[in-house]
Chain A
Amino acid sequence: MKMKVNYFVTAAAIAATGFSLTAFQQKPKFDLKASITKGKEVYTAQCMNCHMEQGEGMEGVFPPLAKSDYLMADKKRSIQQVIHGVSGEIKVNGVTYNGDMPGVELTDEEVSDVLNYVRNSWGNKGDAVKPEEVKTAR
């Protein structure tokens, strides 16, 4: 009987330790604002030459990111496109584009940052893209 009680106490203690450990290990909440700020730098260096400062692109040549139905329709697709590039016909805000965008060599974090920037600028509003999502998409 005594043994049994001890067993329970130990089990409860282990469980409690386990809970408190997971509580401590829980990652801090993703800071979307900070990611957007960092993303602007990535954008300026890697994307702005074609997609332009305000994400307006160039009509018929480079598709816009600002208020872009195509961009905001599919987060997973955007991750793939930043990593691997895009080629062939796409329709953005009713205009057909047929160009080539090369993939960009960026870290998981940089991909998430730049996507958070474009998905939350110039009239766009989207949920956060986390580095883990980029990692699984590779």
Chain B
Amino acid sequence: MASLTLKINNKTHTVDVDPKMPLLWAIRDVVGLTGTKYGCGIAQCGACTVHLGGTPVRSCSIPVSAAANKDIVTIEGLSTDNSHPVQQAWIAEQVPQCGYCQSGQIMAATALLKKTPNPTDKDIDTAMQGHICRCGTYPRIRKAIKAASQLMNQKASIK
């Protein structure tokens, strides 16, 4: 066991855990943020995606010690009221079906839009390829990413 500092969604948490514990365990079971989901456990499905230092990572496959003192953003950190453009687009396009993979999908989409504000279909497919949706909501995910891109561009032009 070790005492580690986790900075999740701009809040500091001190956790006393095995340093080898997957970050996902710490986020869900220790800190209590259950928006991030456990899918495959081997970094293949994308359900557990969070941002670590601004980069999307698979929290199931990273030991908590590797995330200590770095900025972690989970789905709960995007906004407190679903007002993030990606969340807004997701609601408008009614993307989720069962919803299990969607936290990961949204985190990946947010990271994509930060890097590529106007993604093409190909950009979207490449960036989202590692995110599996058993309900097959892929066409709606793509549509929502485009809608979110527009929302973000509008917001930027108003500013």
Which residue of chain B is the closest to A60 with respect to CB atoms? B66
Report Cα–Cα, A44/B127, bound state, in Å.
Answer: 7
Q: If A58-B66, A61-B66 touch, does A50 touch B58 (CB 8 Å cutoff)? A: yes
Number of interface residues of B (CB under 8 A): 17
Which residue of chain A is the closest to B61 with respect to CB atoms? A50
Q: How far is the CB of A9 from chain B (nearest CB, A)?
A: 58
Find out whether the CB atom of A45 lies under 8 angstroms from the CB atom of B126. yes
Which residue of chain A is the closest to B108 with respect to CB atoms? A49
Find out whether the CB atom of A49 lies under 8 angstroms from the CB atom of B56. yes
Q: How far is the CB of B74 from chain A (nearest CB, A)?
A: 16
Find out whether the CB atom of A46 lies under 8 angstroms from the CB atom of B62. no
Query: Which residues of A are in contact with B by a Cβ distance under 8 Å?
Result: 41, 44-46, 49-50, 52-53, 58-61, 99-100, 102
Query: Which residues of B are in contact with A by a Cβ distance under 8 Å?
Result: 42-44, 46, 55-58, 61-63, 65-66, 126-127, 129-130
**What are 23 A-B pairs with beta-carbon distances under 8 A?**
A41-B126, A44-B127, A45-B129, A45-B130, A46-B130, A49-B46, A49-B56, A49-B57, A49-B58, A50-B43, A50-B57, A50-B58, A52-B55, A53-B55, A58-B57, A58-B62, A59-B66, A61-B62, A61-B63, A61-B66, A102-B42, A102-B43, A102-B44
